[in-house]
Amino acid sequence: MTGRIGILLSGGESRRFGSPKAFAEIGGEKFYERAYQALDAVCDRVVIVAHPKLQSRFPDELDVITDLPAIAGQGPLAGILTAMAQRPGDCYIVLPCDMPFITSKETTKLVERMDKKQNITAIQTPDEKVPLFSIWKTGLQEALQEELAAGGRRVMVFMEKAGTAWLDSTVINKDTGVFRNINRPDE
Of 84, 104, 94, which is closest to residue 42 (Cα–Cα)?
104
CA distance 131 to 153: 13
pLDDT, residue 138, reads 93
User: 95-131: per-residue pLDDT in tens?
Assistant: 999 999 999 999 999 999 999 999 999 999 999 999 9
CA distance 155 to 161: 10
- Dmax of the chain from CA atoms? 42
pTM: 0.94
User: 140-157: per-residue pLDDT in tens?
Assistant: 999 999 999 999 999 999
CATH classification code of 4-179 = 3.90.550.10
Confidence of residue 12 (pLDDT cuts 50, 70, 90): low
Tell me if residue 139 falls in helix, strand or coil.
helix
Residues 66-70: what's their mean pLDDT? 95
Does residue 1 surpass a pLDDT of 50? Answer: no
Does residue 13 surpass a pLDDT of 90? Answer: no
Question: Residues 114, 135: contact at Cβ < 8 Å?
Answer: yes
Arithmetic mean of pLDDT over the chain? 92
CA distance 182 to 28: 16
CA distance 71 to 131: 20
